[in-house]
Chains A and B, each alone.
Chain A
Amino acid sequence: MIPAAFEYARAGSVDEAISLLGSNEDAKVIAGGHSLLPLMRLRFARPALVVDIDRLADLEYIRDGGDHIEIGALARMCDVAVDPLLRAESPLMAYTASVVGDPQVRHRATLGGCVAHGDPASDPPATLLALDATLVLRGPAGEREVASKDFFKGIFETDLGPQDILTSVRVPKTGSAGWSYQKFHRRAIDWAIVGVAALVHRDDGTVSSASVALTNMGAVPLRASAVESVLAGAAATAESVAAASEHAAEGTEPVSDTNASGEFRQHLARVLTRRALEEALAK
């Protein structure tokens, strides 16, 4: 309930946040607070310094970037979910944000905070992976772009260095591609037991390409590459989807916990992949 004592500093700019992070070895960034605060209240996390970037208004935007949409790291999950541009041009991203937590959580939690936290049970990372999104990071050495496939390193581990701030996420416009995010959880407020993000491009009755990414099937979000390769060029039918989905759990090593065993997660990955692909093809 009561965190261990810590210093608090509110950054007035991204550069100031970067320099504050450099001032203390044991500093953590806080934005919406929905990842860090629960850990601090249980004293599982005991940062010496908390750098608050939550009021950096210039990181809270969603804007058209031509072939992509750029989402500022502080865009709230609820805004991502209902943004008209996203819903029209990259609906998989908008929808995924709508199934995170509950309305109270979505009004506080930021997309950037969620992604930077690197929780394998979180929904948006798999969708970013399926979309081949690009993450924009800024650190003492300046700005760099990281592909989503290179960003997630392990449980609560990302490519972010100790003084890096995630400033935005670029998601491609997905045009006429069919899409789906299937989240399996026991309660609406829960993290995903398993989630599947799917994006399917079709061409005259065949699947020209499919991206399928899995939530909580390992330490990081994973592409179901066996499913993708079986499906590429296959007929856009329920039969080929069913056959491809059987490969969804290949190469995965999901955890066992009180919600589900690894074996059940692998089963769910196959079922949810089939459902995601069926829904994507129907869109």
Chain B
Amino acid sequence: MAQTATKYIGSDVPRKEDPELITGQARYADDLTLPGMLHMVLVRSPHAHATVDNVDLSHALAVDGVVAAYSGADLADEWAGPLLMAWAVTPDIKNPPHWPLTKDKVRHQGDGVAVVIATSRAAAKDGADAVVVDYTPLSVVTDMEAALADGAPLVHDDAGTNASYTWKHSTGDADAAFASAPITIKERYVIQRAIPNAMEPRAILVQPNTAMGEYTMWSSTQIPHILKVAMVVATGIAESKLRVIAPKVGGGFGAKLQVYAEEALTLLVAKKLGQPVKWTEERSENYLATHHGRDQIQEMELAADAEGHITAYRVKIWANMGAYLQIITPGTPLLGAFVYCGCYGGDSYSLECTGVFTNTTPTDAYRGAGRPEATYAIERAMDALARKVGVSPVEIRRRNFHPSSDTSFSMPAGLTIDSGHYHEVLDQALELAGYDDLLADQKARRDRGDSKQLGIGFSTYLEMCGLAPSRILKALNYAAGGWEAATVRVSATGKVTVVAGTTPHGQSHATTFAQIVADDLGVPIDDVEVVTGDTQLAPLGMDTYGSRSLAIGGIAVHRAAEKVVAKARTIAAHELEVSEEDLDYEGGTFSVKGAPDQARTIPALAWSAWTAHALPDGMEPGLDSTAVYDAQNFVWPYGTHICAVEVDTDTGRVEVVKYVAVDDVGVQVNPQIVDGQVQGGVIQGIAEALFEEAVYDEHGTLMTGSMTNYEVPAASELPSLTIGRYTTASTTNEMGFKGVGETGTIASPPAVINAVIDALSVFGVTDVPRPASPENVWRTIQQARQAEGGQQ
């Protein structure tokens, strides 16, 4: 309806949120202090699996400053319910209750057994140190295959098995296709466990108002709205009595898409003591008690005709759940279950996923959530297929791409893709990479037997994001919807407030939503403020994850603005004494067709709506509107990433020497912010491919328990990226938005690993473990050389 001038959308508007971040005036949860505030510290199990025989709190209570201490048994009767698990993926899923403190058995290192509350954090820490817990250690299982073997130690005795569920999805008859296919490949990949590392660890503050039975919780969370519902479930506090605020949040990457034991504990303890209580996570607790990501074993099969055109996909996944099912632990692999076919054609698709309990920290969503794992499998498998057919990685992809399309089309896993130009994006990436020069360099090194070999890797990925159409969530048995809400309010003086249900933790909502609304209403961007992250100010929302804030939340914002424009149009027509159809609308001004000096701006109409002196009969005063948007489809970003690595074959060290990313994320609201998301995502994916790995020993002790040996790379280890752009509007929504928050992390690991394998192909190597650390690469070369020697 409204014609909008695109003045801000598409331009590099400087981030509105930066001044307070740069000057240190932004307030994170741990910055907040209240009078009478107490501090809580958890006592965590050093054992991965043990019975809790006795918890002696007496020494803790004797520590100066300690005001209270509770064991799991002390609090057991006070919970209204266990921690929320929202995604029972199958009717027969094993979902043992997960209580905020365990009372009888610990199931992973870091499992909470007691809390100590004191007048200072140091006293609470000393008190926690003084708690004496008697444990009887039990047999430990951390490996999924061992957990599924007969006689394995059971993480949950009552479940009778460590298999939580097996979920299946298929289209067509994959088995028949495999039986008759001239070419098949079968590969096995292991996706190592990753530890999310948000800059800001978690922190929680609860202020009780016991007189009114009201509670305010500040939490470093991605999901204040979902958290509020989960706290109602856990504590029985009425939803109307609880306010949840996500203040400034220093990164989440999915790890704050969670409802944590510490949130329920802080709330319950504040309620019991009638005083504000704060809990702040230490980094080493972050490694044990904040959820982990990935950790899958995959069997990936492709069936193809003699030229390598894929006819069928067959996938088996084992996903490590860890010790408990957190909010979407079992569903996380399913978020990737539809993209094991990438952006390629075919007729049939079969996928089976088994969730496995182990004595490890629970896993859950980590940037990309299921789709990085799927993309890794299909992009590795495409290279394996290319080897089998005897064509290049580029050619095998071209043979299998969906035809370029501006409109939607169906894909092998049974969903509908919004749009995409796969060939064109690959062309641009090859050009930016200087592919021919890279090939020439590679050949020269191979010819001279250089100890530093060059490898070139591709990832022509496809992702589905914009979580999520509520009808599809229902089909997947997810407990909630995937809609999003926004309110746009124009004040008497023409200033605009956007209240959004999505909550930022680095995504730039304040800037990009303001760009959308400033264009819709024709007002300066500085006149638009964005309010988020407070369930009292923004009561409707489903929060931020799955690259949904723009593609879902942004559409709600735009539609709310359109409703405001529609109301303003009625007022303008009334004031100008013409019919609405006789008005043009451009740049925030209604003008009479043929008489452009007869005009009203949105701020002028907001004044009219506020004074309400002469509104149309029956119209309510005020100029504001709320919209709730539920998408009918996902959005489907895609792109080509090309990675060139230099492998030191003497030491196994891999260096990324060139990285090109060309992504089609739909219409870009702010290209500079898009580039930032691509860079951060790619770097996080390179880190997974080359550096990061959570390692448990046979006792279930996390060996990579700090940043000293969990190798988060820094700028000195990472390349500069070459970023290209290609834009195809999404057909899912009227703005053409797709998503960009996760593309880089989804796309990059297979590009890097394919490059390492390409470099090592001179030794006959076709696989390398993740991460491609120096030792893993060196061992791969050693094994290949021994195999070669054995053949001679």
Q: Are A258 and B695 in contact (CB under 8 A)?
A: yes
Q: Report if A184-B125 is in contact (Cβ < 8 Å); known contacts: A42-B284, A258-B704, A264-B778.
A: no
Q: Is B126 an interface residue (CB 8 A)?
A: yes
Q: Are A268 and B651 in contact (CB under 8 A)?
A: yes
Q: Which residues of A contact B704 (CB under 8 A)?
A: 258
Q: Are A2 and B125 in contact (CB under 8 A)?
A: yes
Q: Which residues of A contact B691 (CB under 8 A)?
A: 186-187
Q: Are B125 and A188 in contact (CB under 8 A)?
A: no
Q: Are A261 and B775 in contact (CB under 8 A)?
A: yes
Question: Quick one: which of A249-272 are within 8 Å of B by CB?
Answer: 257-261, 264, 267-268, 271
Q: Is B427 an interface residue (CB 8 A)?
A: no
Q: Are A258 and B284 in contact (CB under 8 A)?
A: no
Least CB distance, A196 to chain B, in whole angstroms? 12
Q: Report if A4-B126 is in contact (Cβ < 8 Å); known contacts: A186-B717, A264-B775.
A: yes
B-facing mask of A1-25, CB < 8 A → 1, else 0?
A: 1101100000000000000000000
Q: Are A259 and B709 in contact (CB under 8 A)?
A: yes
Majority SS at the chain A contact face: loop
Question: Quick one: which of B120-138 are within 8 Å of A by CB?
Answer: 121-122, 125-126, 129
Least CB distance, B649 to chain A, in whole angstroms? 10
Q: Are B774 and A189 in contact (CB under 8 A)?
A: no
Question: Quick one: which of B767-786 are within 8 Å of A by CB?
Answer: 773-775, 778-779
A-facing mask of B95-135, CB < 8 A → 1, else 0?
A: 00000000000000000000000000110011001000000
Q: Is B614 an interface residue (CB 8 A)?
A: no
Q: Closest residue to B120 on the A side, CB-wise?
A: A2
Q: Is A107 an interface residue (CB 8 A)?
A: no
Q: Closest residue to A186 on the B side, CB-wise?
A: B711
Q: Is B713 an interface residue (CB 8 A)?
A: yes
Q: Output the residue of B651, B704, B708 with the most chain A CB within 10 A.
A: B651
Q: Is A283 an interface residue (CB 8 A)?
A: no
Q: Complex Cα distance A260/B711, Å? A: 13
Q: Is B441 an interface residue (CB 8 A)?
A: no
Q: Are B709 and A257 in contact (CB under 8 A)?
A: yes
Q: Is B440 an interface residue (CB 8 A)?
A: no
Least CB distance, B774 to chain A, in whole angstroms? 7
Q: Which residues of A contact B693 (CB under 8 A)?
A: 258
Q: Is B212 an interface residue (CB 8 A)?
A: no
Q: Complex Cα distance A42/B125, Å? A: 11
Q: Complex Cα distance A193/B773, Å? A: 12
Q: Are B651 and A271 in contact (CB under 8 A)?
A: yes
Q: Are A2 and B121 in contact (CB under 8 A)?
A: yes
Q: Complex Cα distance A271/B451, Å? A: 12
Q: Which residues of A contact B283 (CB under 8 A)?
A: 1
Q: Which residues of A contact B775 (CB under 8 A)?
A: 259-261, 264
Q: Complex Cα distance A271/B773, Å? A: 17
Q: Complex Cα distance A5/B65, Å? A: 14
Looking at the complex, which one of B284, B653, B714 makes contact with A189 (CB distance below 8 Å)? B714
Q: Is B703 an interface residue (CB 8 A)?
A: yes
Q: Closest residue to B691 on the A side, CB-wise?
A: A186
Q: Is A43 an interface residue (CB 8 A)?
A: yes
Least CB distance, B650 to chain A, in whole angstroms? 5
Question: Quick one: which of B269-289 are within 8 Å of A by CB?
Answer: 282-284
Least CB distance, B200 to chain A, in whole angstroms? 14
Q: Are B717 and A188 in contact (CB under 8 A)?
A: yes
Q: Is B716 an interface residue (CB 8 A)?
A: yes
Q: Are A184 and B651 in contact (CB under 8 A)?
A: yes
Question: Quick one: which of A180-194 are within 8 Å of B by CB?
Answer: 184, 186-191, 193
Q: Are A267 and B709 in contact (CB under 8 A)?
A: no
Q: Are B122 and A2 in contact (CB under 8 A)?
A: yes
Q: Complex Cα distance A179/B282, Å? A: 43
Q: Which residues of A contact B121 (CB under 8 A)?
A: 2
Contact size range, B: 20 to 34
Q: Which residues of B contact A264 (CB under 8 A)?
A: 774-775, 778-779
Q: Complex Cα distance A271/B651, Å? A: 7
Q: Are B651 and A186 in contact (CB under 8 A)?
A: no
Q: Complex Cα distance A264/B650, Å? A: 11
Q: Output the residue of A190, A257, A261, A264 with the most chain B CB within 10 A.
A: A264
Least CB distance, A101 to chain B, in whole angstroms? 12
Q: Output the residue of A260, A261, A267 with the most chain B CB within 10 A.
A: A267
Least CB distance, B216 to chain A, in whole angstroms? 26
Q: Are A4 and B282 in contact (CB under 8 A)?
A: no
Least CB distance, B665 to chain A, in whole angstroms? 30
Q: Which residues of A contact B708 (CB under 8 A)?
A: 190-191
Q: Complex Cα distance A190/B773, Å? A: 14
Q: Closest residue to A46 on the B side, CB-wise?
A: B129
Looking at the complex, which one of A2, A5, A188 makes contact with B714 (CB distance below 8 Å)? A188
Q: Complex Cα distance A259/B710, Å? A: 9
Q: Which residues of A contact B125 (CB under 8 A)?
A: 1-2
Q: Which residues of B contact A4 (CB under 8 A)?
A: 126, 129
Q: Which residues of B contact A184 (CB under 8 A)?
A: 651, 653, 774
Q: Are A271 and B650 in contact (CB under 8 A)?
A: yes
Looking at the complex, which one of A1, A2, A186, A257 makes contact with B774 (CB distance below 8 Å)? A186
Q: Which residues of A contact B717 (CB under 8 A)?
A: 186-188
Q: Are A187 and B651 in contact (CB under 8 A)?
A: no
Looking at the complex, which one of B126, B713, B779 makes contact with A187 (CB distance below 8 Å)? B713
Q: Complex Cα distance A187/B711, Å? A: 8
Q: Report if A260-B126 is in contact (Cβ < 8 Å); known contacts: A184-B651, A187-B711.
A: no
Least CB distance, B451 to chain A, in whole angstroms? 10
Q: Complex Cα distance A156/B774, Å? A: 27
Q: Which residues of A contact B703 (CB under 8 A)?
A: 257-258
Q: Which residues of A contact B711 (CB under 8 A)?
A: 186-187, 190
Q: Complex Cα distance A257/B709, Å? A: 9
Q: Closest residue to B41 on the A side, CB-wise?
A: A2
Q: Which residues of A contact B129 (CB under 8 A)?
A: 4, 43
Question: Quick one: which of B644-693 are within 8 Å of A by CB?
Answer: 650-651, 653, 691, 693
Q: Which residues of B contact A189 (CB under 8 A)?
A: 714, 716
B-facing mask of A268-280, CB < 8 A → 1, else 0?
A: 1001000000000
Q: Which residues of B contact A2 (CB under 8 A)?
A: 121-122, 125
Q: Are A1 and B282 in contact (CB under 8 A)?
A: yes
Q: Complex Cα distance A4/B651, Å? A: 42
Q: Complex Cα distance A192/B15, Å? A: 40
Q: Closest residue to B703 on the A side, CB-wise?
A: A258
Least CB distance, B368 to chain A, in whole angstroms? 23
Q: Complex Cα distance A43/B46, Å? A: 14
Q: Output the residue of A186, A259, A271 with the most chain B CB within 10 A.
A: A186
Q: Which residues of A contact B709 (CB under 8 A)?
A: 257-259
Looking at the complex, which one of B122, B773, B778 makes contact with A267 (CB distance below 8 Å)? B778
Q: Which residues of A contact B284 (CB under 8 A)?
A: 42
Least CB distance, B194 to chain A, in whole angstroms? 14
B-facing mask of A162-194, CB < 8 A → 1, else 0?
A: 000000000000000000000010111111010
Q: Complex Cα distance A267/B651, Å? A: 8
Least CB distance, A255 to chain B, in whole angstroms? 12
Q: Closest residue to A259 on the B side, CB-wise?
A: B709
Q: Complex Cα distance A103/B711, Å? A: 19
Q: Which residues of A contact B779 (CB under 8 A)?
A: 264
Question: Quick one: which of A73-130 are within 8 Å of B by CB?
Answer: none
Q: Which residues of B contact A260 (CB under 8 A)?
A: 774-775
Q: Which residues of B contact A1 (CB under 8 A)?
A: 125, 282-283
Q: What are 27 inter-chain pairs, A to B, with CB distance below 8 A?
A: A1-B125, A1-B282, A1-B283, A2-B122, A2-B125, A4-B129, A5-B126, A184-B653, A184-B774, A186-B711, A186-B773, A187-B711, A187-B713, A187-B717, A188-B714, A188-B716, A188-B717, A189-B716, A190-B708, A259-B709, A259-B775, A260-B774, A260-B775, A264-B774, A264-B775, A264-B779, A271-B651
Q: Which 9 A-B pairs have the closest CB atoms?
A: A188-B716, A264-B775, A1-B282, A271-B650, A2-B125, A2-B122, A258-B709, A258-B703, A258-B695
A residues in contact (CB < 8 Å) with B: 1-2, 4-5, 42-43, 184, 186-191, 193, 257-261, 264, 267-268, 271
Known: A258-B703, A268-B651. 10 other contacts (CB 8 A): A2-B121, A2-B125, A186-B691, A186-B713, A186-B774, A257-B703, A258-B695, A258-B704, A267-B778, A271-B650
